[in-house]
Amino acid sequence: MNKNNNHIIAPSLLAADFANLKNELKLCNDSKAEWLHLDIMDQQFVPNLSFGPAVVKSIRPHSNLFFDVHLMVSNPFDMLPAFINAGADAISFHIETTEPRFTFPPKIIINTIKKNNLRCGIAIKPSTPFKVIEKYLSFIDYIVIMSVEPGFGGQSFIPSTLEKISSIDKILKDKKIRDKIAIQIDGGIKLHNAKDVIDAGADILVVGSEVFKSENPIETINEMYNL
């Protein structure tokens, strides 16, 4: 999955300085980071509003990073074409937007993402049990475990997430599909807790304010790879 180590650091653009976006992107490009995490919020599924496909499309020519689009939106299916065309490499959506209402069945969303040769992930809120997504495991590439309530950056990591990661890691191993599905953790990741998250079984760490608010973002990203 990656070339640096046994985990991937994915800087979250949500925490960047949008008045200086090109430079913030360059910091990520110049670091060991391989993924760029793009939080899309619609002020409906979550209380915040972030950015749309036009921003993703505008930065795509300026980076070779793997663009990881996280749809925190109430109707992910309708947004898929725009982000696929904008240059996404992977798209994750929240199971809570589809279960149990099934505005669009998860399989339709997954199939649309996969048939466009993108990786597909399913995200779950802190309170959502893993069993809700178990029936979709054979169709997806990664699981996004939210370690904060989705909607805003800069929140504190929920400690019980570590147990959730370990539990999911064990389930995937027991099902003999651990090598096919990555575990991504999103929210509150800092230098002081990143190793615990990795040790619990995480493959991909989404890191926002810890990177972009630090004095040396490149050094912070690289340090996380050396944990």
Residues annotated catalytic, as ranges:
39, 186
Residue among 145, 122, 144, 125 at smallest CA distance from 133: 122
Let me know: does 177 contact 215? Beta carbons within 8 Å.
no
- What's the CA gap between 85 and 33, in Å, rounded? 23
- What's the CA gap between 83 and 91, in Å, rounded? 8
- What's the CA gap between 4 and 72, in Å, rounded? 29
DSSP H or E segment with residue 218: helix 217-225
- What's the CA gap between 6 and 136, in Å, rounded? 25
